[in-house]
Amino acid sequence: MLKDRFMDLKNNIPAFAALVTLAIVLIVIFANSFRSVDPGHEGVLYRPFGGGIDTSTVFREGVHFIMPWDDVIEYDMRKKTKEMDLSVLDSKGLTVNISMSVIYRIKSGSSPVVHNELGADYAEQIIKPQSLAIVRDIVGGYQAEDLYSVKRNELQEKAETQLSQELRRYYLITDALLIKDVDLPEQIEAAIIAKEEQEQRNLLAEKKKTEAFELAKAKVQTAKGDSASRVINEQAEAQAIKIKQEQLARSPQYIEYLRAQAVLETARKWNGEYGSGNVFGDSPVLLKSLK
């Protein structure tokens, strides 16, 4: 009996081993059928046995089930910056060195097309050459000294607009194009510095001229004020004299009143000594003048 059971188990080992192996294979296949896409990324489905890149399928961030023999290629959909330096000619044929940055990203849902048509190195293949060509063409219409000052923002705006239109054909979005630095030829740079220094000197001279004018104006106003004050005092004195004269003309008794007032004033100031100019000797000076 035991012998028969042993023989049955011995005969079933290959089948059991095959079953275990199959289970392990299925577990591995099932485990490899899940792919995770990182935040801010998109997944491109690649079918090696079914036509290559599937441009109709886009995997968003998260976990996705795919066949174990397929693959997922991730693309970063967040904003990126491309730094570039270029040498271009202005309208006079002078060399201008420009440093700029392009901020860009892939249009949402377009990663399969970008991968299929441009590849992972799309920044070098498309963004860089397009940016350089556009800026070079725009700079050719300006003079170097204008790019250093008043036309710099205009250059930046034009280049950003044209690059945005161009990259849209490749499912790329231009968020900004920034002109960071404009390096001019030495002769132009020296001329600009000399011009700025002259403008500073002109401003200083104008400031001193204005200050001198205001100081002179203040002195004139002060002199006018002093003169006006003297005129007012003189007018007031003349008016007082005129009033007294009119009163004297209308009332002779007013003379006697003034004499009495002078006598009283002299009496108040008398120190008890007699001498010239008192009420007992010579008439006081005031009374003499009122006679």
Query: ∠42-125-129 over CA atoms, to 5°?
Result: 130
Residue 160 inside a domain? The answer is yes
Q: Please check whether residues 137 and 60 belong to one and the same domain.
A: no
Query: ∠133-136-137 over CA atoms, to 5°?
Result: 85
* DSSP string for 236-275: HHHHHHHHHHHHHHH-THHHHHHHHHHHHHHHHH--S---
| Residues forming beta bridges with residue 45, ordered by sequence position | 72
Q: Please check whether residues 91 and 136 belong to one and the same domain.
A: yes
pTM: 0.57
pLDDT at 84: 92
Q: Please check whether residues 33 and 104 belong to one and the same domain.
A: no
Q: Please check whether residues 84 and 173 belong to one and the same domain.
A: yes
pLDDT at 228: 58
Q: Please check whether residues 151 and 126 belong to one and the same domain.
A: yes
Tell me how far apart the 2 most distant CA atoms of the chain are, in Å.
183
Number of domains the chain is built from: 4
Name the residue with tokens 């120190």.
271
Helices 152-167, 128-139: crossing angle, 10 deg rounding: 140
Q: Please check whether residues 226 and 258 belong to one and the same domain.
A: no
pLDDT at 153: 86
pLDDT in tens, the chain (291 residues): 545 554 554 556 666 566 667 666 566 666 667 888 999 999 999 988 878 888 888 999 988 888 888 889 999 999 999 999 988 888 888 888 889 999 999 999 999 999 999 988 999 999 999 999 999 999 888 887 777 766 788 889 999 999 999 999 999 999 999 998 888 766 555 555 566 655 666 677 677 677 766 776 666 666 656 555 665 666 667 776 677 666 666 666 666 666 666 666 666 665 555 555 555 455 444 444 444
Q: Please check whether residues 87 and 163 belong to one and the same domain.
A: yes
Give residue 8's domain range: 2-76
Q: Please check whether residues 61 and 148 belong to one and the same domain.
A: no
| Residues forming beta bridges with residue 80, ordered by sequence position | 104
Q: Looking at residue 125, what DSSP letter applies?
A: I
